[in-house]
Structure 1
Amino acid sequence: MTEPTPFTGDSAERPSRWRRFSAAARRAASLPVQGIDYLYQTGQAYRHFTLPILNGAIGDQLAARQDARAIQMSFRQLGADIAVPELHLTGPPLTTVVFLHGLMGDEMIWQAGTPDTPRYGPLLQREAGVRCLYLRFNSGLHISQNGQLLSGLLTELLATHAESVGELVLVGHSMGGLVIRSAGYYGTHTTAGVAPAATWIGRLRSIFLLGVPNDGSFLEQNSHLTSVMLRKLNVAPTRFLSKAMDQRSNGIKDLRYAILVDQDWQSPYADDVLMPPRTVVPPLPGVPYHVLVGSLLKTANSALHHYFGDGLVGAGSAVGRIFADPALPPEAQVHTRVFAQQSHAGLLSNPEVYQYLREHL
């Protein structure tokens, strides 16, 4: 009679089905914990972005109901708002560079980098001998509202620190550049009987506009057109979708055609698709403007470059009809530079862009 063959080989070395099932169950059970831990760590690392994103999306609504989460335009130091008198600017007059972020951004985009992607603020302060100040603003408000707030804040800066602030340089990325242009408008126009805030205008040395949609954003134009078409269909689902889309902030809506003054968004024709009102805001006379344009392509001579540009702002819009107008008066000083193969966010940490800033301060 043949002896039964003992159970040996690979089968004996493998864990039992129950052990394999138990190990798989333990791994599956730990996934939610690991996911929550990952989200927490990520949230801690990027928590300074959470509030600006919320304000960019619905900041106008937060401000309207006086919600504590609504950002107030302010200079920033050490991650906190700081009043102008508390800036403690001392010493001889220095060229003062004021940085403004874009939609859903904050002041950290100019400061927090890595050795491979250094940010412009600390570099300029260290290498160019200038003073750098950083602003944070509620990007969900109308651009014109932020423009007036900026004009007032710069006026207060010069009134409080007249002996320490030399010439002013303004640097704006995306929406921040539009806020600068709006501030220039309100700094040279009388509003509601108030004299123009010409003090800071007279100190302007130069303005840098990085990836700024000077003629509007194709993304917002498409969003507005989609919302209008859904509303015109006039059935319950499309009305719901249109209403939901229209909850985006006033700041986002102003990006459609770069609305820089109050009367344009206050007009009853503000939502017209083809010919909405748009007040012309020309360059400030005698102030050099440096219009820096990003392009995802290698060449700037194409329709794709003109429309898509850096991926978020079309190159045609960034150059702007006003800045490219050959009929600009002689005192207008506009310098345009295109940076090939450069994304919208990449304009904030590009060595060539930094070199341009340093050379033209």
Structure 2
Amino acid sequence: MTEPEESAELSGGPNQQPSRWRRVAAAVGRAAQAPFNGAGLLYRIGQENLHFTLPVLNGAFGDQLAARHDRRAIQMSFRRHEADIAVADLRLGPAPEGRGRKTVVFLHGLMGDEIIWQTGAGPEDVRFGPRLQQELGANCLYVRYNSGLHISENGRRLHQLLTELVQTSPAAVGELVLIGHSMGGLVIRSAGYYAAQEHSVAAASSAALEPGLATGPASKWLPYLHDVFLLGVPNDGSFLEQNSHLTALILRKINIWPTRAISGLIDKRSNGIKDLRFARLTDEDWQNEHADDLFPPRTVVPPLPGVRYHVLVGSLMKTVDSALHDYFGDGLVGAGSARGRIFRDPAAPPDLRITTRVYPRLHHGTLLSNPEVYQYIREQLAE
């Protein structure tokens, strides 16, 4: 090879392909930049889908974020236009005739957010919130919360939020309706438990001071509550979390380095997820020294008297009279758990009004956009 030819191979002429060395150098440069480009792409995707990634992060590790006062920890709030909104800024108004409007409050499940009630996965999916507001003229409100916190912590916060709602807009809130999906239903039940406790304490104090006038605090939200809809709610716990807990327990018992490491990773899951094992609704349940036992003590949280409960259960099966239906249910929540022993108690007081409906061939997420489920909710609220 002559010297000019060798020079041409190294530098490449104007009409030639880049030399072998230049191609190698370019490939090395692209490989070196790949991690940075990939990280940038992931960051852009994360920012564009923050309404999805942030709730997932909170569901998995939200308790740890909150403990560190991390700015990514979600604070319970009503939401409007994909942003937190103060109760005073909701500016709810009464119906034209001056009566309070039916007010519907939606709560999402683990790792979810308010968007699930407003948009569907496809064009044919029913959007429960906007349609109820349009067809019934109801005030539809959406709550976002950190699903990684203990259920009882979110229950207390929901109790406070609903109290603030009825105190701020007493003329605008007529019948109060709560609709919860999955963990959201447990948060609703926990909030009712703490509201009832507070109501009982206030009534007892009032009776001690003024016998015969123990009516309780009229400003609280319980007197407004008319309906509770529980969609795919693990009222008796989640079989997935029960299996996770049992797996971690067995690995710890084996007690060698690999099993300890794996069980340690499993135990990093959030308090909210751990509470799903047996649907722990009160502080006492997770604070109990036997909380991690295979069969821990659990506080009974009964339905609230005078409130209509609608227990809506999904099932992957065509038939609903099998053991598989009871255990697997909608794929994430067993049908037996969704029906809930507390809602099937034959010795329940006669003033409890509980309706249970099972929807075959519906998985956990489809309950949120199914036309039959929506039609049932609409018919009950239109009465």
TM-score by length of 1: 0.87
Native 8 Å contact 2:315 2:359 kept in 1: yes
SS in 1 for 2:60: helix
Native 8 Å contact 1:53 1:104 kept in 2: yes
Residues 242 and 194 (structure 1), Cα distance of their counterparts in 2 relative to 1, 3 Å cut: farther
Matched, 1:128 2:148: no
Unaligned runs of 5+ in 1: 1-21
Native 8 Å contact 1:152 1:197 kept in 2: no
Q: Distance in 2 between matches of 1:36 and 1:241?
A: 27
Residue type at the aligned position of 1:358? R
Q: Distance in 2 between matches of 1:110 and 1:44?
A: 21
Native 8 Å contact 2:94 2:173 kept in 1: no
Matched, 1:243 2:264: yes
RMSD over aligned Cα, in angstroms?
Answer: 2.5
**1:144 to partner: Cα distance:** 0.3
Q: Distance in 1 between matches of 2:348 and 2:45?
A: 48
**1:326 to partner: Cα distance:** 1.4
2:238 aligns with 217
Residues 305 and 145 (structure 1), Cα distance of their counterparts in 2 relative to 1, 3 Å cut: same
Matched, 1:139 2:147: yes
2:343 aligns with 323
Q: Distance in 1 between matches of 2:44 and 2:365?
A: 23
Unaligned runs of 5+ in 2: 1-22, 204-215
**Corresponding residue pairs, total:** 337
Which of 287, 294, 300 in structure 2 is aligned with 1:266?
287
**1:36 to partner: Cα distance:** 8.1
Q: Distance in 1 between matches of 2:310 and 2:225?
A: 13
2:359 aligns with 339
Residues 293 and 72 (structure 1), Cα distance of their counterparts in 2 relative to 1, 3 Å cut: same
Residue type at the aligned position of 2:246? L
Residue type at the aligned position of 2:166? L
Residue type at the aligned position of 1:228? L
Matched, 1:173 2:181: yes
Report matched runs for 1:6-45 at 5 Å: 43=46
2:223 aligns with 202
1:16 aligns with none
Residue type at the aligned position of 1:233? I
Deviations 1:310-333 (A, max 9, x none): 000000000001101111110111
**1:46 to partner: Cα distance:** 3.0
Q: Distance in 1 between matches of 2:299 and 2:39?
A: 49
Residue type at the aligned position of 2:286? W
Residues 117 and 40 (structure 1), Cα distance of their counterparts in 2 relative to 1, 3 Å cut: farther
TM-score by length of 2: 0.83
SS in 2 for 1:322: helix
SS in 1 for 2:226: strand
Native 8 Å contact 2:155 2:194 kept in 1: yes
1:5 aligns with none
**1:165 to partner: Cα distance:** 1.0
Q: Distance in 2 between matches of 1:212 and 1:96?
A: 21
Which of 90, 101, 113 in structure 2 is aligned with 1:94?
101
**1:115 to partner: Cα distance:** 2.9
Native 8 Å contact 1:186 1:197 kept in 2: no
SS in 2 for 1:208: strand
Residues 63 and 197 (structure 1), Cα distance of their counterparts in 2 relative to 1, 3 Å cut: farther
Native 8 Å contact 1:187 1:197 kept in 2: no
Which of 44, 49, 53 in structure 2 is aligned with 1:46?
49
How many percent of aligned residue pairs carry the same amino acid? 65
Deviations 1:216-263 (A, max 9, x none): 000000000000111111111111111111110000000000000000
Runs of 4+ in structure 1 deviating by more than 6 angstroms, as ranges, are 32-38, 193-198
**1:118 to partner: Cα distance:** 2.5
**1:129 to partner: Cα distance:** 1.7
1:157 aligns with 165
Native 8 Å contact 2:92 2:139 kept in 1: no
1:288 aligns with 308
Which of 252, 255, 261 in structure 1 is aligned with 2:273?
252
